[in-house]
């Protein structure tokens, strides 16, 4: 339902299918997978629906094999760091919860429904769709989850809704749930683990926003009293000439790292997708000199970047705060600039307010450096030439 809603909101089916095509290549149990998106009606409302045509071997899958396949799919897919983290984190959570419920180690957990190819398709499909729609660039909220009620049957027998795995994931991740509106299963372990790892904040009511894209995803079950639909709304903050960008600020104190290791850690953090990272000198208890490592990242990347910081520096803890910052809209354009009789492409960053007015233009310095090296000219001179071209474009 979430994947269908994201496609209905504008995510490209063909590009999602390209990622799903990697599943049979890295998960031996799956032989073929085909995503089909159609429009359906539920209680008179139009919605999108996803059907996954899957050919796969029956039987259980060991948790370690399942997670290894997921890791290989993520590497081959070339999706963003945020999308990779969502997919792998969601699948790791599914395996760990299943193993804990059955009292065995995660690597040896025998997966039934959770180990099927459609679980991989759901998770990687949603992660890819979020990437395509720019979901990870903003704050992600959700209303509480309706889990249904009554009894239902699956591989471990008949249980009451919500399923034990759904309840455990909600408990661990702080997901608010409520029963109803009908006595059937309305939340699956896969669905709630994706939502739990995607969402930054659960709210009763919508935050103030201007809706820009809306998508509806239909479930296969037809309910009697309500349309079985999931709605996705993508928009921008209402009011003002500036966008509000939710970010996380991470810090850790370091007093025992050589400069080479610290420099390497800083580069690894930037390569992992941090918006910015820097080091300041400090003096700690017992008059020990040291450094403070600071990182700014998207709110969705907080846990992933904290993990990189701890692995690269060996620190035992990372503190963080959630901040809002005002930002201008940004657009990257590639312009052709003539220098020394040669036409060369340079990327420019155009900053605009919400009315579309250009506030600032700045060339990408990596391109300036490359041209300066190629033409044996000072970077300062190259920058002057390309900025004049950018100003002409902005005036046009």
State mean pLDDT over 74-80: 91
Note the pLDDT of residue 329.
Answer: 75
| Residue 210, pLDDT above cutoff 80 | yes
Q: What is the CATH number of domain 329-395?
A: 3.10.20.300
pLDDT over 70, % of the chain: 94
Q: Cα–chain-centroid distance for residue 155?
A: 31
269 contacts 250 by C-beta, under 8 angstroms: no
Instruction: Return the DSSP state at 180.
Output: B
Q: How far is 320 from 126, CA to CA, in rounded Å?
A: 27
Query: Can you tell me which residue has the tokens 């233009």?
Result: 361
Q: Residue 262 is encoded by which pair of tokens?
A: 């610290």
- For residue 286, the 8-state DSSP code is G
Per-residue pLDDT band at 132 (split at 50, 70, 90): very high
Tokens linked to 216: 């509806």
Q: Which range in 9-18, 167-176, 367-376 is most confidently predicted, on average pLDDT? A: 9-18
What is the DSSP secondary-structure string of 231-260? EEEEEEESSSSSEEEEEEEEEEEESS--HH
By three-state DSSP, how is residue 274 classified? coil
For the chain, give the mean pLDDT.
88
CB 373 within 8 A of CB 342: no
The whole model's pTM is what?
0.69
d(CA 30, CA 32) in angstroms, rounded, equals 6
The residue with greater pLDDT, 98 or 133, is 133
CA proximity to 2, closest of 197, 155, 161, 168: 197
Provide the phi-psi class of 382: left if phi over 0, else alpha when psi is between -120 and 50, else beta.
alpha
Out of 74-88, 100-114, 300-314, 369-383, least confident range:
100-114
Q: Tell me the backbone φ, ψ of residue 324, rounded to 5 degrees.
A: -110, 140
Q: Range with the lowest mean pLDDT among 5-9, 227-231, 244-248, 315-319?
A: 244-248
Residue 369 · residue 333 · CB < 8 Å? no
Q: In the prediction, which pLDDT does 316 show? A: 93
pLDDT above 90 coverage of the chain, percent: 52
The C-alpha atoms of residue 50 and residue 217 are separated, in whole angstroms, by 8
* Beta strands 157-160 and 243-254, pairing class: unpaired
pLDDT at 113 over 70: no
Quote the pLDDT of residue 63: 83
First to last CA, the chain: 44
Burial of 293 by CB count in 10 Å (0-12 exposed, 13-18 middle, 19+ buried)?
Answer: buried
Least confident of 142-151, 200-209, 225-234, 385-394: 385-394
For domain 243-326, give the CATH superfamily. Answer: Transcriptional regulatory protein pf0864 domain like (3.30.70.1380)
Q: Which residue did the predictor score with more confidence, 129 or 59?
A: 129
Domain ranges, ordered by start, for the chain? 2-237, 243-326, 329-395
User: Is pLDDT of 107 > 70?
Assistant: no
Asked if pLDDT for residue 391 goes beyond 80, the answer is no
Identify the pLDDT of residue 354: 67
E-strand ranges in 119-199 read: 141-142, 145-148, 151-154, 157-160, 177-179
Which band of pLDDT confidence, cut at 50, 70 and 90, is reported for residue 177?
very high
State mean pLDDT over 107-115: 65
Examine residue 263 and say whether the peptide bond preceding it is cis (omega within 30 degrees of 0): no
**Position 219 confidence tier, pLDDT thresholds 50, 70, 90:** very high
- The predicted-structure confidence for 230-278, as pLDDT tens digits, reads as follows 999 999 876 656 677 788 999 999 998 999 999 999 999 998 889 999 9
pLDDT in tens, 348-387: 887 877 666 777 788 888 888 988 888 889 988 888 888 8
């Amino acid at each position: 339902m979430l994947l269908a809603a994201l496609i209905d909101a504008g995510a490209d089916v063909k590009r999602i299918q390209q990622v799903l095509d990697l599943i049979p290549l890295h998960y031996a149990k799956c032989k073929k997978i085909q995503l089909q998106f159609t429009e359906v009606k539920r209680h008179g409302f139009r919605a999108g629906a996803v059907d996954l045509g899957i050919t796969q071997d029956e039987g259980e899958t060991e948790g370690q094999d399942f997670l290894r396949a997921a890791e290989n799919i993520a590497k081959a897919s070339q999706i963003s760091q945020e999308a990779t983290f969502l997919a792998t984190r969601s699948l790791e959570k599914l395996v760990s919860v299943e193993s804990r419920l059955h009292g065995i180690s995660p690597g040896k957990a025998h997966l039934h429904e959770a180990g099927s190819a459609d679980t991989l398709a759901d998770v990687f499909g949603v992660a890819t769709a979020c990437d395509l729609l720019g979901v990870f660039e903003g704050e992600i909220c959700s209303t509480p989850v309706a889990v249904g009620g009554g009894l239902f049957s699956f591989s471990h027998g008949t249980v009451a809704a919500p399923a034990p795995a759904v309840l455990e994931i909600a408990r661990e991740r702080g997901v608010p749930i409520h029963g109803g509106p009908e006595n059937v299963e309305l939340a699956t372990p896969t669905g709630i683990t994706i939502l739990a790892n995607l969402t930054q904040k659960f709210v009763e009511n919508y935050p103030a926003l201007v809706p820009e894209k809306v998508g509806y995803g239909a479930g296969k079950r037809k309910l009697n009293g309500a349309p079985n639909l999931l709605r996705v709304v993508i928009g921008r903050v209402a009011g003002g000439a500036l966008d509000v960008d939710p970010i996380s600020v991470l810090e850790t104190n370091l007093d025992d790292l050589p400069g080479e290791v610290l420099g390497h850690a800083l580069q690894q953090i930037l390569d992992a997708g941090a918006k910015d990272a820097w080091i300041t000198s400090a003096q700690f208890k017992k008059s020990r000199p040291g450094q403070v490592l600071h990182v700014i990242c998207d709110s969705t990347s907080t846990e992933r970047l904290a993990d990189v910081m701890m692995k690269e520096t060996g620190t035992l803890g990372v503190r963080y705060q959630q901040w809002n910052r005002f930002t201008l809209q940004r657009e990257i354009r590639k312009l052709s600039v003539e220098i020394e009789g040669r036409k060369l492409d340079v990327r420019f960053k155009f900053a605009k307010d919400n009315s579309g007015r250009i506030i600032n233009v700045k060339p990408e310095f990596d391109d300036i450096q490359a041209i300066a090296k190629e033409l044996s000219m000072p970077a300062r001179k190259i920058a002057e030439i390309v900025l004049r071209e950018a100003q002409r474009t902005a005036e046009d």
